A and B are shown apart, each in its own frame.
Chain A
Amino acid sequence: MQLKHRFVLPLALVLSAVMLYPVAFSAWISLHDYRLTRLNDVRWVGLDNYTFIATDPGFLNAMGNTITFVIGAVTLELILGLGLAILLQRLVRFQNFIRSTLLAPMFITPIAVGLMFRFLLNSELGVISHYLGEIGISIDWFGPQLALFSIILIDVWQWTPFMVLMFLAGLESLPKAPFEAARIDGASAWLTFRSVTLPMLRPVITVAIIIRALDAFKVFEYVFAITRGGPGDATETIMYYIYQAGFRFFRMGEAAAAAFLLIVVILVLVIALVKATKSNTEAPNDV
């Protein structure tokens, strides 16, 4: 065997065992009527699971919730992250302390974050709800109207730091000359930001959005910790839907089909995103 392959062999073996084999097995499950309660009676059903899932109102609702969640959370995180990164870059005192404090949420186990906010926003026990009530604002954070939005806010609390981290690194690596030129030309701060900073940051922004969006599609812990998909099915996300289908209703075939449909949706969105940002970067910059 060639030397270079020997370096890669252990990785290839491990990934075959924990990824390739499970994915192939999952694909096989998705083509069968595979129920945990009837393991002796597994029947080939072709694409039936796929057609069932693709037309199941529950699945479509979960997909809609998840896409709303991903778009809402990533957009807010992008804007807040960019703003905070610019502030932190201009910070001249207490830099280390403030930076590491603001980055802290992204390292915490999401189930703890979910339970913390369930506690803080609870309508009777929650300190935030209590003091909002004192000044006459009563918000039912986990009621039917707001539950999905509250879950988005929790995700923003935990993951804006990731955007800050990426953008800070991006900002610090930008060359100084274009900013000097803009200053000499008398460009306003806003114009400098729009026509110098943003275009130069674009590759970092694209990577950050893709990584964050792919991760946000997997949202499960906040839903599990707080709403269990409710009220009704207002916060049921794809991961939670698959969890229910597979491990509460024991319909493994349908759960597997839903997981593969999720991958298709993710792939389409990633390709669209990469295409959109590519054509933008190739457009001439009038700086």
Chain B
Amino acid sequence: MFSFSTRPARIAAFFAIVLALVVVLFPFVWVFLESIKPPSLGGRPDVWVFPPTGDNWNNVLFQSDVPSNILNSFFVAFATVAIALLVGCPAAYAFSRFRGYHGARYSILAAEMMPPAILILPFFLVLYHLQMIDSLAGVIAAHLSFVVPVVTWFMIGFFDEVPRDLEHQAMVDGYTRFQAFYKVILPAVRPGIGAAGVFGFVLSWNDLFYALLLTGGESRTLPVAIAGYWTFRGVDMGKMAVAILIAVIPVLILSFFIQKHLVRGIGGGAVKY
């Protein structure tokens, strides 16, 4: 399986990889088993074989608020990414192409690093005064603060790789600069737009901190709902397991498609590989 030159090295490498796979996969396997355990066996650490039941799944999917939490999370992530791409793409193009934006490039990176602790207080207070705590619009605004910089940073890297001749040719053919950007360059970075969009979606979908403080009741997102399954008042393992899997599965599927593009995106044109 490995291209190491000696046999002991190959064997050691094999066991190391198997160990890594077990460490990564075991938590998912156990959480899945918990989700289909009959309630009488719930939370028992020594039970591996049992008649599976769909009770927990039924309960969470059809008799709890989780479906509306999923819709909230999806709506927030989708709206955030749409706005982020709309404002991020033209700006990233400008940072990649025009002179005089060297500093701007790195202030985008600095914005990406801003601790949420600084932003949460003003967001909370402003939304409180507007009586918009518990609204999805508030969470979307808060999520824009980290998704917009990330998406812009990603796109700079992708635009950097498009040869300048492409839009020059288009402009010779009579396009304006904006038309060249819109009709020639954007289609050329389509995989990058997809990767940046999916990555931004995952970041928003996964956020707990802002959603915890800016939503409640009807507007709760999925991570906030998951956090509610284990409180000081008690825990329902089976239902929590279902909620965890529901939050995790779509993200894993999405992430599978963007892994190839992720490194270039994170590097943002600052790291040349």
Contact = CB atoms under 8 A, between A and B. Distances in A.
Nearest to A107: B255
B226 A108 contact: no
B130 interface: no
A103 B88 contact: no
A285 interface: no
A19 B111 contact: yes
A14 B208 contact: no
Interface range for A: 35 or more
A107 B87 contact: no
Given A22-B122, A116-B27, A225-B230, A104 B111 contact: no
Q: For A4, A94, A217, which residue has the most chain B Cβ atoms within 10 angstroms?
A: A4
Interface in B127-150: 141-142, 144-145, 148-149
A22 B118 contact: yes
A157 to B, nearest CB: 7
A206 B25 CA distance: 29
Interface in B216-255: 222-223, 226-227, 229-230, 237, 240-241, 244, 247-248, 251-252, 254-255
B117 A19 contact: no
Given A8-B91, A10-B87, A125-B45, A90 B2 contact: yes
Contact of B205 (A12, A19, A109): A109
Contact of A169 (B1, B115, B118, B273): B273
A1 interface: no
B259 A103 contact: yes
Given A100-B256, A118-B230, A220-B209, A91 B240 contact: no
Contact of A11 (B1, B141, B152): B152
Contacts of A131: 45
B255 A246 contact: no
Interface string B71-100: 000000000000100111011011101101
A87 B209 contact: no
Contacts of A107: 202, 206, 251-252, 254-255
B30 to A, nearest CB: 6
B191 interface: no
A170 interface: yes
Given A19-B114, A83-B16, A247 B177 contact: no
A127 B244 contact: no
A131 B30 CA distance: 13
Interface in B1-26: 1-4, 9, 13, 16-17, 20-21, 23-25
A249 interface: no
Contacts of A4: 94, 97-98, 100-101
Contacts, number: 243
Nearest to B104: A8
B266 interface: yes
B116 interface: yes
Contacts of B152: 11
A48 B93 CA distance: 44
B213 A247 contact: yes
Nearest to A11: B91
Contacts of B178: 3
A115 B255 CA distance: 21
B117 A252 contact: no
Nearest to A88: B17
A263 interface: yes
Q: For B4, B20, B123, B244, which residue has the most chain A Cβ atoms within 10 angstroms?
A: B20
B255 A103 contact: yes
Contacts of B44: 125
A252 B121 contact: yes
Given A14-B83, A83-B16, 18 more contacts: A11-B90, A90-B13, A94-B1, A107-B251, A110-B206, A111-B227, A115-B226, A115-B229, A115-B244, A118-B230, A119-B240, A124-B45, A165-B259, A166-B263, A169-B263, A238-B117, A252-B125, A262-B115
Counting from the closest, the 4 A-B pairs by CB-CB distance are A11-B91, A130-B45, A7-B94, A22-B122
15 contacts: A8-B95, A8-B101, A11-B88, A18-B145, A19-B111, A22-B123, A87-B2, A88-B17, A90-B13, A99-B259, A102-B21, A109-B247, A115-B226, A224-B227, A266-B115
